[in-house]
Amino acid sequence: MNELNIEEQINTDEKERAKKQTKKCSEVPPVNAVSSSLGDSLKVMELREKVLSWSGQVYHVGDCTIQNMRCSFWSDGKARFNADVMSSDSGDVWVFYGGMSIHDNHGVELWRSGKLIGPGMSRNQWTLWNQVFFFPAAWFDSIDSAICHQMHC
């Protein structure tokens, strides 16, 4: 019987030690997990550009004219729209109320900007419209064409 009590005491002591070693989750600090480094395997991609133009197209709305329209798209998601604009009246502004959309080679619209607003124009003077905007860079490789929507002055 004495041996049984000793064995019970040993089991009880082991359980007590295990309890002391095991802490509650709230008592243990969080840990960080760090990935392995890409090192030299990471290649720096050169910035690529696509330029779409409305070559030779001249648009007239009311007193206003817009021509030499082109838009550059870069693989980082930056875009720049340029055009020459003029009005026979002062204070006019070209607006693309429906923004500019980009399309793939099947004509599917991939993305559309918000409203684009050109610069104020002086009477009978050509003005450069130079506007930067951003698009989802993931669509860059699929860009084939663009449409300027609801152009008005």
Question: How do residues 120-147 score in pLDDT, each as one tens digit?
Answer: 999 999 999 999 999 999 999 999 999 9
**127 falls within a domain:** yes
Residue 101: domain span: 49-152
Instruction: Give how far the C-alpha of residue 21 lies from the chain's centroid of Cα atoms, to the nearest Å.
Output: 50
Per-residue pLDDT tens digits for 40-63:
665 667 999 999 999 999 999 999
Please state whether the predicted TM-score (pTM) of the whole model is above 0.85.
no
For residue range 90-121, list pLDDT tens digits in order. 999 999 999 999 999 999 999 999 999 999 99
The CA distances from residue 66 to 1, 81, 92, 124, in Å, are 106, 12, 12, 12
**CATH code: domain of residue 98:** 2.60.40
Instruction: Name the domain count of the chain.
Output: 1
Contacts for 145 with CB less than 8 Å, ≥ 6 apart: 52, 102, 103, 107
pLDDT score, position 87: 97
pLDDT for 28 equals: 78
Alpha-carbon span 52 to 67, nearest angstrom: 14
